[in-house]
Structure 1
Amino acid sequence: MGNNENAIKCIAVVAIIVVVLILILVPSSFHGVEYYQFGFTRRKSTGTVNTDEVFTTGNYFIGIDYEFKIFPADAHFVDLTSVAVFTSDRLEVRLDCTFQYFLRQEDLKDLHDTYDIQYKDILRTNAIDELKGATVDFSTRDFGDKRAEIENTLFDAVRKRLGGICCKPGCKNSAEGCEDRCKPVEDCTKEDKGFFADVRYFQLGYVDIPNDVISRNLQTLTQLEDGFREKYIQDAQLARKLTEEIVKKIENSAEEISQNATAQAALILSQANAGARAIVEGSFNRGLAKIYTDLSITDQDQKASLNYIRTLRDQENAFLTVNFNTLVTGPVYRGQT
């Protein structure tokens, strides 16, 4: 009886120990990966990392001797300050820029095997090297005139340097499509993948141009503005001359029209006067003929005398008298007695 009790006690103790171990070891065998992380399993006792599978968000039962080696799945922010680059006119310009890149899940194994956790400094250094050679086609002035174009050029250079030349998986079926001249994924080698990161954003910041270059640029701009000013002055002078010529033509045309109108008026007046005189003379001749007929004057001397008297009567300063007595009495003016 006592042996059975002892056995039961031993079994109970062992069961309790097993339960306690389970309660301790099982939770310790679960390890989690956050939503902003990638992970490889790593054995604690040996430090060996298994890169066959990339773990994403979730809790996993991987054993008490294992843990996750974590890599960021969110954006890596890289700030570069005072990076010396050279322009097409062989001058040094310093610029600040910022870019953001993401590690590619499908290439995380290659990243780990190649650079391990030192990848950040390597990617940063290669980005700086790429920036130095990306601005050789732009002049110093272009940094003020073509800033957006330069920013896109720098972005494209860093993106290709860190991301490689491989097409994105599934890009053929995406709305954006594949990039120009990218290499199909199935044909890509490890060297074609760049540094296994996608650069998605790039911002060009402050650009430090040497003061002597700025002074020369300002002088050039001033000379250019002076050239524009001189051209405007010449254009204004030419416009004034053309305007004066147009005004002169208009004035000449107006003078010609005025003279033509005056000549036409004089002609019309002369024709009217001649017509009126012809009408008067015609009426006078008919009247005179009627007088000759009514008075039975047929002698030419009498007609001439009568015509002479009529002519004298038309003179304003002439006065007629019949004899001396009428002369003394006073002149008989035309239309008066």
Structure 2
Amino acid sequence: MPRYLLLQVTACCSILGLFIFLLILLPLSFSYIDYYDYGLEQRKSTGKVNTDRVYNVGRYWLGPDKKFLKYPADQQILFLDEVSVFSDGGKDSVGLTFLVDIYLTYAINEQEVGELHRELAKSYRSVIESRTNDAIKNSAITITFSDYFENRKTVEAQFREAVQARWNSNPQLHVTLDQFHIGRIRIPKTVATKQLEALVQNERTAKEQYLQDARLEREKTAVQVNTINLQTDQLLRNTKAQAALIVANANAKSEEIKLSALNNGTRDLLQSIGIKSQNETIAYTYIRNLQNRENLNLMVSYLSDENIVKTSAS
């Protein structure tokens, strides 16, 4: 009887021990992945990581000697404060060194988490930051200083393309750039003073050029005005000369017509009154001319035998 009881007690203890062992072992054999993580199998005893399979959100049976090495599945934020860049000099300014704040987000490519771990492991963040700095500095040398204020969207797009291209260069970072923004631009006092002096000099040069252009335009205008005045005077003189010639020709033609009409009328008159001799014709013409003079009063009465016409001044 005691032997039987001993066996029962032993069996109960074994079952209880097995139950306790399973109770402890089972929770240790399950591993969990949250929605914001990716996971790779890692053996606890050796630290070896299996990069062949990438786990996403869920609960998995891995065994008590395994766990998940997790990588972020959501967007990661990178702030780069006061990145020193050198701008392109361009046509109207010299190159300047100043500071730019960069804000961006990126995400790890799910199917490439294993490759990311094999190549970079947990140091990928520092590599991303280093490559981002290099890409921005190399791209900035092709952008003029004024573009950072006048064409900010264009500058952001160029920086974004440069960063993504640098990330994709071998060895790749296995991440994708999402948001990218240029923050505050800090200009050192010495740089601001230098830029201001350059802008003032540009304005002075533009002012001098404007004054020279204005002086040249005034001279051109004066020449054009003088030319127009000369042309006007010449046109007026030509017009007056032509008008005088036309008037003179008209007067001459008028006198010619009048004289012709007078001669014809006198001839017809003399013929009608029967004056035919040369002396009588001359006497008639003389008397008519005297009548046409305004400062003489001509009175003709019966002529004496001498046929003398007497006149008196009016």
**What's the TM-score bracket when you normalise by the shorter of the two chains?**
0.7 to 0.9
Q: What is the Cα deviation at residue 38 of structure 1?
A: 0.9
| 2:273 aligns with one of 292, 295, 300 | 295
Q: What is the Cα deviation at residue 102 of structure 1?
A: 2.3
Q: What is the Cα deviation at residue 55 of structure 1?
A: 0.9
Q: What is the Cα deviation at residue 39 of structure 1?
A: 0.3
Is 1:98–1:204's contact at 8 Å kept on the other side of the alignment? yes
Q: What is the Cα deviation at residue 71 of structure 1?
A: 0.6
Partner of 1:33: 33
Q: How does 1:55-204 map to 2 (within 5 A)?
A: 55-86=55-86, 92-128=97-133, 131-132=136-137, 134-136=139-141, 151-152=156-157, 154-164=159-169, 192-204=170-182
> Counterpart amino acid of 1:282?
S
Is 1:86–1:92's contact at 8 Å kept on the other side of the alignment? yes
Matched, 1:237 2:215: yes
Cα 1:119/1:281, change in 2 over 3 Å: closer
CA distance in 1, matches of 2:165, 2:38: 23
Classify the secondary structure of the residue corresponding to 1:93. strand
Is 2:38–2:73's contact at 8 Å kept on the other side of the alignment? yes
The Cα RMSD (Å) is: 4.3
CA distance in 1, matches of 2:110, 2:139: 28
Deviations 1:150-209 (A, max 9, x none): 545544444344332xxxxxxxxxxxxxxxxxxxxxxxxxxx323443344433333333
245-254 vs 145-154, which deviates more? 145-154
Percent pairwise identity: 30
Classify the secondary structure of the residue corresponding to 2:297. coil
Cα 1:121/1:290, change in 2 over 3 Å: closer
Matched, 1:271 2:276: no
Classify the secondary structure of the residue corresponding to 2:298. coil
Cα 1:313/1:333, change in 2 over 3 Å: farther
Classify the secondary structure of the residue corresponding to 1:247. helix
Partner of 2:53: 53
CA distance in 2, matches of 1:120, 1:309: 135
> Counterpart amino acid of 1:220?
A
| 1:285 aligns with one of 260, 263, 274 | 263
Which consecutive unaligned segments of at least 5 residues does structure 2 have?
1-6, 89-93, 302-309
Deviations 1:109-145 (A, max 9, x none): 2332344334323433444455555545567667567
Cα 1:142/1:282, change in 2 over 3 Å: closer
CA distance in 2, matches of 1:276, 1:144: 85
Is 2:105–2:180's contact at 8 Å kept on the other side of the alignment? yes
CA distance in 1, matches of 2:144, 2:268: 112
Q: How does 1:216-227 map to 2 (within 5 A)?
A: 216-227=194-205
Q: How many residues align?
A: 298
- Could you tell me the TM-score, scaled by structure 1's length? 0.68
147-156 vs 239-248, which deviates more? 147-156
CA distance in 2, matches of 1:35, 1:146: 39
> Counterpart amino acid of 2:69?
K
CA distance in 1, matches of 2:246, 2:144: 79
CA distance in 2, matches of 1:283, 1:127: 113
Cα 1:305/1:130, change in 2 over 3 Å: closer
Classify the secondary structure of the residue corresponding to 1:319. strand
CA distance in 2, matches of 1:14, 1:281: 167
CA distance in 2, matches of 1:319, 1:90: 107
Is 2:38–2:70's contact at 8 Å kept on the other side of the alignment? yes
> Counterpart amino acid of 1:232?
Y
CA distance in 2, matches of 1:319, 1:83: 120
21-30 vs 103-112, which deviates more? 21-30
Cα 1:255/1:246, change in 2 over 3 Å: same
Is 1:87–1:138's contact at 8 Å kept on the other side of the alignment? yes
Which consecutive unaligned segments of at least 5 residues does structure 1 have?
1-6, 165-191, 324-329
- Could you tell me the TM-score, scaled by structure 2's length? 0.73
90-99 vs 32-41, which deviates more? 90-99
